[in-house]
Amino acid sequence: FRIMAGKVKWVTDIEKSVLINNFEKRGWIQVAENEDWNFYWMSVQTIRNVFSVETGYRLSDDQIVNHFPNHYELTRKDLMVKNIKRYRKELEKEGSPLAEKDENGKYIYLDFVPVTFMLPADYNLFVEEFRKNPSSTWIMKPCGKAQGKGIFLINKLSQIKKWSRDSKTSSFVTQSSKEAYVISLYINNPLLIGGKKFDLRLYVLVSTYRPLRCYMYKLGFCRFCTVKYTPSTSELDNMFVHLTNVAIQKHGDDYNHIHGGKWTVSNLRLYLESTRGKEVTNKLFDEIHWIIVQSLKAVAPVMNNDKHCFECYGYDIIIDDKLKPWLIEVNASPSLTSSTANDRILKYNLINDTLNIAVPNGEIPDCKWNKSPPKEVLGNYEVLYDEEMAQSDGTDRDLRGRPGQSPGVKGSRARDSGKPVLTTWK
């Protein structure tokens, strides 16, 4: 009985083997939601309930959950853009060099999200921008959906008449979050490999927002479209060409079930170094790390930094043919479904490493701990940014650090994550 009392009690509402196997291998005990639990891996619907004002749910010190209460500040497409825009304006107001603009008025260091507008709210602003480049293509995405659902491309204003605020055909559309869309400039010059378009999926673990402490999973991957990419307008309707979501690609005729159209990030690195050179490849990866950290800093002030929470995000990034990375979106519940055997292994290890950091020693947690795991437990994670460490270094160099700066700020080896590899230490 004494032994049982010391074991972590877990609940989940996501029936995925990669999760359950990890809990079981730690000897944790499965319990029901209404019982006393220590660890709850919940879906985003559940987190909404747990932290909603009505339920008055109070988590005790020995309870940990896998989402921040208002993660949607980062993971909803419209709010992410809003927060980044706000963050940039704030930096500009305080005269920070990070907010520097070039002669065309574009941010030099903080222009990493494609131009985006909310619809129908910003419809007129969008039209103004659209008319500047009438031959451009835009991508419409519903704010509240995932897995590529409801996305379509447009290149004519008539295709989105419905969202116009003074449209006679629609009565005033209620701002229910289901019908809100964002429209972003479509990146029609993606970097192609073997003639195919791909995007990057990177996993980032945040253990606390204030101070910001985040980790990057080394084993990210590229997701390839099965059909050859063409910017031709006649293929705009062919989602297999344009969307890299595995959920969409899986139903294409060419989808291959053995490899699932994925490459490891290290493969990508090898290819880019071999064909483009080492400097530009290092610069690309530095920039990728940079934009992830900036996106987290942008939402940190508005995040409810509840100490019972940690979160593992799935970052979607596209690289264009000038080797510039663009942040497309951040997922709060990255898919735990495995499309191939290798995939299953990867996700299993991802959860394993995540749990090792979030629940130290696999023991009953105490949410008041300092969230500084020793280096040995990181597994395939690397420290991406540790605000406390950065500040205790004397100069707040990381805040001033920019992509492409001297290696002194970055740490000795470019092969590591570009940001200073800081050893966090109890």
Specify the residue, 18 or 225, whose C-beta has the smaller distance to other proteins. 225
Mutual angle of helices 265-276 and 278-299, in 10-degree steps: 140
CB of 83 to other proteins, least distance (A): 35
DSSP code, position 308: T
- Least distance in Å: CB of 386 to other proteins? 20
Q: How far is the CB of 244 from other proteins (least distance, A)?
A: 13
Q: Which is nearer to other proteins, 382 or 388 (CB)?
A: 382
Q: How far is CA 312 from CA 241, 334, 364, in A?
A: 29, 8, 20
Question: What tokens does 62 get?
Answer: 């020995």
**Residue (222 or 364) nearer to other proteins, CB:** 222
User: CB-wise, 21 or 342, nearer to other proteins?
Assistant: 342
Q: Specify the residue, 7 or 250, whose C-beta has the smaller distance to other proteins.
A: 250
Kindly report the CA angle at 63 between 354 and 382, in degrees rounded to 5? 20
Would you say 277 or 374 has its CB closer to other proteins?
Answer: 277
The residue (of 165 and 259) whose beta carbon lies closer to other proteins is: 259
Question: At closest approach, how far in Å is the CB of 266 from other proteins?
Answer: 8
Least separation in angstroms between residue 143's CB and other proteins is 33
* Least spacing, CB of residue 405 vs other proteins, in Å: 19
Are 419 and 410 a contacting pair, CB within 8 Å?
A: yes
Q: Give the integer Cα–Cα distance in Å for 287 and 323.
A: 10
| Rounded-to-integer distance, Cα 348 and Cα 380, Å | 12
Q: Helices then strands (H, E): number in the chain?
A: 14, 16
Q: Report, in Å, the least distance between residue 235 CB and other proteins.
A: 12
Three-class SS of 88-124: HHHHHHCCCHHHCECCCCCECCCCCCCCEEEECCCHH
What is the phi-psi region of residue 191: left when phi exceeds 0, alpha when psi lies from -120 to 50, beta otherwise? beta
Output the six-digit token pair for 190. Answer: 């993606």
Query: Nearer Cβ to other proteins, position 256 or 405?
Result: 256
To other proteins, the closest distance from the beta carbon of 261 in angstroms equals: 7
Q: What is the DSSP secondary structure assignment for residue 265, as one 8-state letter?
A: H
* β-bridge mates for residue 199, sequence order: 223
Using CB atoms within 10 A of its CB, is residue 101 exposed (0-12), middle (13-18) or buried (19+)? middle
E strands, 336-416, in order:
381-386
Q: How far is the C-alpha of 330 from the C-alpha of 295, rounded, in Å?
A: 9
CB of 252 to other proteins, least distance (A): 10
The identity of residue 191, as a single letter, is L
Output 32 or 258, the one with its CB closest to other proteins. Answer: 258
Q: Residue numbers of the site for other proteins (CB under 8 A)?
A: 193-196, 224, 227-228, 253-254, 256, 258-259, 261-263, 266-267, 270-271, 273-275, 277-278, 342, 412-413, 415-416
